[in-house]
Amino acid sequence: MNKSDSERIATSLEKKGYSLASNMKEADLIVVNMCSVRQSAVDRVNGLILKLKKMKALPAGRQVKTALTGCILKKDRKRFKFDEIWDSKNYFDITPTCQSKSSAFVPISNGCNNFCSYCVVPFARGRLVCRSHQQIIKEFKRLIKNGFKEIWLLGQNVNDYNSPSDKSINFAKLLKMVNQIPGDFSIRFMSPNPKNFTNELISAMAESKKVAKYLNLPVQSGDDEILKKMKRSYTVKQYKDLIRRIRRKMPKINLSTDAIIGYPGETKKQFQNTAKLFKEIGFDMAYISKYSPRSGTAAFQIKDNITLKEKKQREKILRKLIKKHEPR
Ligand code: SF4
């Protein structure tokens, strides 16, 4: 999502007369599009600030302006010293210049109403705002005309989508609509939430030839008590049942997931339940994150009592249970 936003921010700056600098040292304006979801991303901003300070100290003979935007927590607005802070927007009205020649991102919504206990998105990006299906289809057609072969539909929780111009158009219907657009291209999407992944959506995916048979379905934990604490609104049984229904319709589907390990209070037994689920499902890939407290979230109130050493050990165990993993 941040990649898509960055392309749109860059395009809006180009319209104001800026052009992309080949490196930071040559830039007159440095825009940092921040992500607050993981601590590692926040740490990278800290590192960048040090770099910027050094750059500003150089007698370069010119002014460098710095701006921070994206998912910014209230506390970080004051802590990070940038010349300007730009509020995160949905950028729906900007037609971006895509960085890739073959793959493009189309945001269908921005923000989230789900308030999972560990997540900053509803605070940093705000509540869910959906884009009209007409605008999405128009952008899709333009991308296909320009030769893009892989188009991603993006939203924090795509299956919460409802077109503001026609409430009967949900995500399943939107998928079918973009699938009907003539052309040689494939459709991917992220991220869905298991809690409202309906049979209608499974059928739409299975029946739409252009929709890639790949799905990232974040489970986060394989233990019901932890899922409840995380406010994920589904149980392990419901998740497994959903996977069964998906595989029944699409036997060759490539499945990946997201998991958080070391959530506050996660016992060894509860972690073993996640490992058990990984064995049972046999994910093709997984994005595994070590829990880190995010200020402003409900989980921030609970003591982060699992040591880093223990989190690393648990992470190692999960990684061995998947065919491929991607560090985030
Ligand atoms: S559904 Fe996703 S984006 Fe929304 S609060 Fe939960 S983890 Fe965050």
Note whether 98-211 and 213-328 share their fold.
yes
Q: Among 35, 37, 88, 116, which residue has the most ligand 1 atoms within 8 Å of its CB, making it the best to mutate?
A: 116
- The predicted-structure confidence for 42-98, as pLDDT tens digits, reads as follows 777 777 777 777 765 555 566 778 888 888 877 777 777 788 888 777 777 777 777
* 178 to 73, 164, 182, 206, 217: CA distances (angstroms): 35, 17, 9, 14, 21
pLDDT at 323 over 70: no
The closest residue, in CA terms, to atom 8 on ligand 1 is: 119
CATH code matching the domain that covers 213-328, chosen among 3.40.250.10, 3.30.750.200, 1.10.1240.10, 3.30.360.10: 3.30.750.200
Averaged over 128-152, what is the pLDDT?
95
Please name the fold of domain 98-211. Answer: Transcription Regulator spoIIAA (3.30.750)
pLDDT at 225 over 50: yes
- Cβ-count burial 10-45 (b if 16+ within 10 Å, e if not): bebeeeeeeeeeeeeeebeebbbbbbbbbeeebeeb
Would you say the CB of residue 116 lies under 6 angstroms from ligand 1?
yes
Return the amino acid letter for 328: R
Would you say the CB of residue 114 lies under 6 angstroms from ligand 1?
yes
Of 20-24, 174-178, 190-194, 265-269, minimum mean pLDDT range: 20-24
Domain positions in the chain: 2-85, 98-211, 213-328
Would you say the CB of residue 113 lies under 6 angstroms from ligand 1?
no
> How far is ligand 1, taken at its centre, from the CA of residue 118, in Å?
9
Q: How confident is the model at residue 231 (pLDDT cuts 50, 70, 90)?
A: very high
